[in-house]
Structure 1
């Protein structure tokens, strides 16, 4: 097939080693937690198959542990026995059957691990016993014998990939993991042949690469994933990375570089492991270009490349040869085929929220996407979604927030005639508030994407439409889906001197003004309190964020929470944890310590802002007793939570309609 005229560089084939990749779009290795008994099973195969079928040129499967000293999480991949080969071979055959190439990662976390097994912490191994600042792990220094054993087993792991039919093997020297620890003089303080000079610090990696080369078949490629910059005070310096990569290129040890950034070894660099919407798109292009110039190797670069036009620009600038568009294809597995055929406007764009991709990993559950509930659940739901409704009917959806929008789209995709009614003048519900938060405007893409899908599915929409029982009876739908959302709960705060607290939502919407010194009572421990604090601090207010939890952003994805802890500090926001609001008077806000009940007084307060709970809006539901119509519910009208639950429950309601 000729190159797509829309993105000529992105869809030009690339020869890598002994094979050709059909385009420059890659799904880079990322933990999915879809493994079954530490092997690729039906869920993982279906997940990668969707992206290969959707047109990706290269699939890099997630880090497989090649030695028992690296075992940590129960749902990670292992590649330590020959009996594993058939499971990997099945995955390779399916991916290659759709025209994509497949490369497998091998990794060891070293000190960057809890190593939790059966409820207790195991022993972590590293170049030196240098404590880790993220997990508070003190590793045991690896013996020479253990290093030699790891070199041997990594070669055996690569051989198993070869026997499974993979096209290549990628070692991970990125994100502060074991190979990166050996390269870093702050983590590697050995005085033997594996420490000291850069040549010595590279020895473990060089020996491992040589052993991999010896064990794989001719034509397979060897890649190295590496962080061009750790963004950590004690991370590996960029010039060290450049020197190491240049040496490996000159010696022919590797066939390509997979360039990323960040480190899992600290709280500062971790945001770059999976950069969210707060980080600029394609921001690592210049880093990749520097390594491309230093090595003359084919370069794969990742880091917030979410749109085909962004990838095309990276390639046009000669920064890289392949673009990692991993989260973009978690959201829309058909991104490549849509871009190639000129259907770019139908691509459902990743919004960089990190809630169900890396956020699920940190919860220990399988990967998904808040916008695309099918992602990661292909084996479970794809057959039902593809099957038309046996009896197409008229479906009425009440509520145009994320839950109602997703329910309407899904029901229409199954062949139903769908009517969506919304009382407000705009679709989006609580997502309209979320996009007003500082540095979170991209969250509005959730609404934009759903509106695009509604139009594509030919859903009838009626705005500014208040729905009551009589209207439902007049419409006479075959099924009713309620997605009526939630309302702020009544304030339970003692007020004196005619003072009145302000709701955080009113501040963000611009419908309420506050004066100089502000205390925010943050019951939610989510984006709203943090965002309101950042918004007011940026406007010059003195802000204290009193959190009824252990920390600000307690309920946010880990990496993003840590990022915002730094941002609040830079903005001068004082964070007070374990603080529960109970009253205010002329110039004092009264809180209690959440554990002991001891009083906490904030004096000299001009305004108190409340980020409090919401209650399900059941006003319509409460009037429908005895209505002879099948009713489903989704989202905040069941219980106020996040957009992820709303979209997922809307998906289920539409699927079951």
Structure 2
């Protein structure tokens, strides 16, 4: 039992199943499916979290009907071909003492993908248009509704007969069950629409049908957004009324009678709604949002039910989870991204090894960001996530070699840590007095302070692995000759590069890196921020200035500001910039600056935009790789990260893992 987190590691009973602790990995799409089935990659992914000490693992959504295919890679539980996969993942999770549930899902109108790139086709209670994916759904017939309700029950039976311990009905984030309940989405006038009783009928029949199908010994839960947090979305009072009704449902006496078995065993509370950008930002809240912010929603639910309640909403650290449970705001803490970043987080917390936890920084880049690109999820800090079969367990060297790593940024730190863990003698040299590279600049941007945690985490990993870390140590030829390394990993990063533009009348033009590192004082007046990529830098600099009441124009060569940032994160950042008064110019590159005017060439045509009254121009341009000109003799040399080609932290850390793994397996 943990001395630091006693409430978090107190077992809890859901229905007739006891869970070993209060830590939950909630249902999240991994894109690790095997043609819509559970294969080896997905099994290995969840087994790693079970082995790492997680109490409850909830599988990603399983479609209950052919119309539930909201992406081209969704798991489907509509026939017995899915059974071997559920059985395999259940066995793997049970092997390590964890419990596993599966989500029962129908998206309704929340459909992302069409067949072979065509526009999505969707069904819903009514033909009300969906804003985010631009979907106009087909209104369901009564016959089709009954068929889908039956699909929930049959999928639940199939899944739990395969060894899965329970099922969770997904009524969160504006998906089909809650679409029926919402008067803004459901405009039907039959038995499934109109009055609150009719609008809740679909979900009530689903809940009752699932319980009847699986019997009293299988856990049945409900996932629901305590508040949709979007324009015209459901608010907490509406949701609480629905939960209170469902809480009283029992089998054998209709919907809501006093006899029979409880239909639901727990409630899983989250926030947000998939149908708008504003609401979707809460599906995987980024670092702009306070930790454990949705616990106020679960706290309200706990006041109206005696059943266990769990909550999601950026609970990234065990102390945040412990506090929410200890204060009675929730019974279980959903820490999904925390365990994408560190699958062993729960086990480390249980033995009070908090300094070893690789904390999630809420960047969303490789987890939900990958999902939205249709590729397997991972983590920028821990690229082994989603690649367990490729990189774990860590290889062990047969012959200890000397490895020199040049550069103490993310790429170099990861390479050094992995090589040292494998058993090599690793020396890392960093010319600056501190480790972290460009990550230390990123944390200077607004709402980006947590990003510096990546440098902290990677540095700690290298230190624990026994790397000989030498800061304030430029790599010279004499140092190279003296070390006589067998392998050299060059991770020397990149430097700022200014574009070739015309500058007249002594106009002030400064690079974004120089501005962030020097905190330069700018003259009074409008600042033109130009951005070549549409990433955090230009948008972050503009937002920092605007929040300091400086008039700002942000000109990006991308289609829109923040185009390279994960959607939920971008939504919040751009909203903040709009509120702060930033002016936006899209599809434009900087070509010149004179006394008080910036000149922007359209990337689409010959038009040139002029921005008047410019007192200073800050340029976020394409960086330039830096590779030392040294003779490494007979050593095997690998160049990685920005030194190879300037990109992001994700590629840098992944190439650090790749390079060190190849060193470990080299003969």
Q: Normalised by the shorter chain, which TM-score bucket?
A: over 0.9
Distance 1:201 1:381 in 2: 49
Question: What is aligned with 1:459?
Answer: 467
Alignment of 1:428-467 (within 5 A): 428-467=436-475
C-alpha distance after superposition, 1:501-560 (max 9, x if no partner): 111222222342222211111112100001100111111110010111110001010111
Q: 2:335 aligns with which of 314, 325, 336?
A: 325
Moved more, 108-117 or 47-56: 108-117
1:643 aligns with 2:641: no
Contact 1:26–1:60, Cα closer than 8 Å, also in 2: yes
Q: 1:341 aligns with which of 329, 332, 351?
A: 351
Q: 2:314 aligns with which of 304, 310, 331?
A: 304
TM-superposed CA distance for 1:82, in Å, is: 1.1
Alignment of 1:85-164 (within 5 A): 85-164=83-162
Q: 2:538 aligns with which of 522, 529, 532?
A: 529
Question: What is aligned with 2:67?
Answer: 69
SS in 2 for 1:170: strand
Distance 1:122 1:281 in 2: 34
Structure 1: 4+ residue segments shifted above 3 A: none
1:374 aligns with 2:380: no
1:359 aligns with 2:369: yes
TM-superposed CA distance for 1:452, in Å, is: 1.3
Distance 2:588 2:522 in 1: 21
Structure 1 gaps, min length 5? none
Question: What is aligned with 2:289?
Answer: 279
Contact 2:486–2:634, Cα closer than 8 Å, also in 1: no
TM-superposed CA distance for 1:391, in Å, is: 1.6
Alignment of 1:432-511 (within 5 A): 432-511=440-519
Distance 1:277 1:316 in 2: 24
Distance 1:580 1:47 in 2: 43
Question: What is aligned with 1:401?
Answer: 409
Question: What is aligned with 1:168?
Answer: 166
C-alpha distance after superposition, 1:465-499 (max 9, x if no partner): 11123321221011000000001124311011122
Q: 2:271 aligns with which of 235, 246, 261?
A: 261
TM-score between the two structures when normalised by the length of structure 2: 0.96
Question: What is aligned with 1:37?
Answer: 35
Q: 2:193 aligns with which of 192, 195, 201?
A: 195
TM-superposed CA distance for 1:327, in Å, is: 0.6
SS in 2 for 1:272: coil
C-alpha distance after superposition, 1:424-454 (max 9, x if no partner): 1110000000111101101111011112112
Contact 1:73–1:117, Cα closer than 8 Å, also in 2: no
Distance 2:595 2:4 in 1: 63
TM-superposed CA distance for 1:185, in Å, is: 0.6
TM-superposed CA distance for 1:121, in Å, is: 2.1
Distance 1:455 1:395 in 2: 15
SS in 2 for 1:546: strand
Q: 1:389 aligns with which of 397, 414, 429?
A: 397
Contact 1:495–1:583, Cα closer than 8 Å, also in 2: yes
Alignment of 1:212-291 (within 5 A): 212-251=210-249, 252-291=262-301
Q: 1:54 aligns with which of 30, 38, 52?
A: 52
Question: What is aligned with 2:568?
Answer: 559
Alignment of 1:14-33 (within 5 A): 14-33=12-31
1:629 aligns with 2:635: yes
C-alpha distance after superposition, 1:389-409 (max 9, x if no partner): 122111000000000000000
TM-score between the two structures when normalised by the length of structure 1: 0.97
Distance 1:603 1:320 in 2: 54
Contact 1:162–1:217, Cα closer than 8 Å, also in 2: no
1:414 aligns with 2:412: no
**How many residues align structurally?**
650
C-alpha distance after superposition, 1:272-318 (max 9, x if no partner): 11011111011111110101111222101111111111111101111
Contact 2:596–2:612, Cα closer than 8 Å, also in 1: yes
Contact 1:478–1:629, Cα closer than 8 Å, also in 2: yes
Distance 1:458 1:79 in 2: 47
Contact 2:87–2:163, Cα closer than 8 Å, also in 1: yes
TM-superposed CA distance for 1:623, in Å, is: 3.5
Contact 1:48–1:59, Cα closer than 8 Å, also in 2: yes
1:541 aligns with 2:539: no
The root-mean-square deviation of aligned C-alpha atoms, in Å, is: 1.1
SS in 1 for 2:495: strand
SS in 2 for 1:294: coil
Distance 2:245 2:519 in 1: 60
